[in-house]
Amino acid sequence: MDPVLAVVLRGALALLLIVAALHKLRDRASFRATLEAYALLPAPLLSPLARAVPLVELAAAALLVTSRAAPAGGVLAALLLAVYALAMGVNLLRGRRDLDCGCMGPGARSTVGPGLVVRNLVLIVAALAAGFFPVQARALVWVDFVTVPLAIAVLAALYASAERLLALAPAVATLRAEVRAALPAEADAS
């Protein structure tokens, strides 16, 4: 893997983890309520876990941006994402699609669904690739130092757009159902 691609991938994943951690740290009570809503853990574990998860996310981000520790960061990020995917999957199997995923804080409510599980699986692959793909040795040039932050910004914008689309999917489905229900009524009125 080209060193610029490796840095971009690790930087984008680190940014994602930092943003997720900051949302959880900003409103711990809301994150604790999200953990409780998943109904997977005993109540005494919820508060300590609500404090620990964002710190583990920050640790994974710090490891990812450190070249020598990138494999550990990739594994830690992949483990976090796998636990999140598993928690969502268990609740989907229970038929619980009304849960807030808890991914990006209360301002970005997104209900659990198959799309979020797939998203996490893709992110797991990216995290493992960021930590373990061999990086070619080559000298970095000035354009690399421009490319890296711009590429991370573009990936962040694409990710935010995809998250927003996933969050809007239930509302779009409801709107489509309402339109379909209204169409026969309009045809009868003509």
Distance of CA 44 to the CA centre of its chain: 26
Q: What is the CA radius of gyration of the chain?
A: 20
* Residue 14 neighbours by CB under 8 Å, 6+ apart: 60, 61, 62, 64, 65, 73
List helix spans (H) across 39-141: 43-64, 70-93, 114-132
Q: What tens-digit pLDDT sequence spans the chain (190 residues)? A: 777 888 889 999 999 999 999 989 998 888 999 899 998 999 999 999 999 999 999 999 999 999 889 999 999 999 999 999 999 999 999 988 888 877 765 556 677 888 889 989 999 999 999 888 877 788 878 888 888 888 888 888 888 887 777 777 777 888 888 888 888 765 555 5
Given a contact cutoff of 8 angstroms between Cβ atoms, the answer to whether 54 and 103 are in contact is: no
> Quick check: pTM over 0.75?
yes
Q: Strand, helix or coil at 111?
A: strand
Give domain limits for the chain: 3-189
